[in-house]
């Protein structure tokens, strides 16, 4: 039978239960293997719950593992299993579409309200920014490499990336980052600090690079332009 990615996830949860009958043996978490097994099951359970799989039957998972290890006849035909996996996958995809739509609506509402605040400027592209600290330094071009300090957050304030937390600014090409940064950096002067409010279409849209950034998220960056690198000297 063609294995579905959901089947692999369920199987991994089941492995935690292998070797013990949860109905007849009391669970013990004493040895490193037992603790690691519990951790695997816990992490997988959380992951599946986030994907809308919170109604999976752990006893049925354990039974499937037990039947496979004991080389017993499987209780469901392959066709039934394929149909069940397809149902769960479709449900997960529908749930993801709904979450993406809700995130997009919430982001649009946030930007609409934010644009009304004093000190917030909205550009033609939809990028919003505040000047936190003014300076009279040079402005970078798209072809420049700049040194910056930054902290990226979601609209709820949760931090997903921060050079400030790492304690080290970074060098990056202006035209090598997300569109909202490309535009925002070229508005800044060396020495200035901006707060950027970046619409999802100027960030990652539906293709988020990390689970820490949900699809269609508006990103908020505290950004400091420290320097424009002398590329001739670097070469």
Q: Write the Ramachandran bin of 167: left for phi over 0, alpha for psi from -120 to 50, otherwise beta.
A: left
In a domain, 177, yes or no: yes
Q: Pick the catalytic residue: 85, 150, 194, 197? A: 150
Domain of 156 in residue numbering reads as 57-234
Residue in 99, 86, 126 with CA at minimum distance from that of residue 218:
126
Q: Pick the catalytic residue: 204, 213, 222, 228? A: 204
> Under a CB-based contact definition with an 8 Å cutoff, are residues 226 and 197 in contact?
no
Chain centre distance of CA 64: 32
In a domain, 52, yes or no: no
Write the pLDDT tens digit of every residue in 48-81.
776 666 677 778 877 877 788 788 888 988 898 8
In a domain, 105, yes or no: yes
CATH number at residue 192: 3.10.50.40
Give the CA diameter of the chain.
77
Burial grade of 216 (CB within 10 A; 0-12, 13-18, 19 or more): buried
Please tell me the total count of domains within the chain: 1
- The answer to pTM > 0.75 is no
Catalytic residue flag (residue 78) = no
Write the pLDDT tens digit of every residue in 120-141.
999 999 999 999 999 999 999 9
In a domain, 101, yes or no: yes
- CA separation (Å) from 177 to 57, 143, 183, 235? 44, 12, 10, 22
In a domain, 8, yes or no: no
């Amino acid at each position: 039978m063609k294995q579905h990615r959901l089947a692999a996830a369920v199987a991994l949860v089941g492995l935690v239960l292998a070797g013990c009958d949860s109905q007849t043996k009391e669970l013990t978490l004493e040895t490193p293997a037992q603790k690691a097994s519990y951790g695997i099951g816990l992490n997988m359970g959380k992951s599946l719950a986030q994907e809308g799989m919170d109604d999976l039957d752990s006893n049925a998972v354990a039974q499937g593992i037990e039947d496979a290890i004991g080389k017993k006849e499987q209780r469901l035909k392959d066709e039934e299993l394929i149909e069940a996996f397809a149902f769960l996958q479709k449900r997960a995809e529908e749930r993801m579409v709904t979450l993406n739509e809700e995130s997009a609506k919430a982001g649009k509402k946030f930007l609409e309200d934010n644009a009304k605040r004093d000190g917030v400027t909205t550009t033609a592209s939809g990028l919003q920014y505040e000047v936190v600290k003014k300076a009279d330094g040079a402005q970078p071009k798209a072809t420049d490499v700049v040194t910056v300090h930054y902290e990226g957050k979601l609209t709820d304030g949760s931090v997903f990336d921060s050079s400030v937390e790492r304690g080290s600014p970074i060098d990056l090409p202006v035209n090598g980052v997300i569109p909202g940064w490309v535009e925002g950096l070229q508005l800044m002067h060396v020495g200035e600090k901006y707060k950027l409010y970046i619409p999802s279409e100027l960030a990652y849209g539906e293709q988020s690079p990390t689970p820490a950034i949900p699809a269609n998220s508006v990103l908020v960056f505290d950004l400091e332009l420290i320097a424009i690198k002398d590329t001739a000297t670097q070469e």
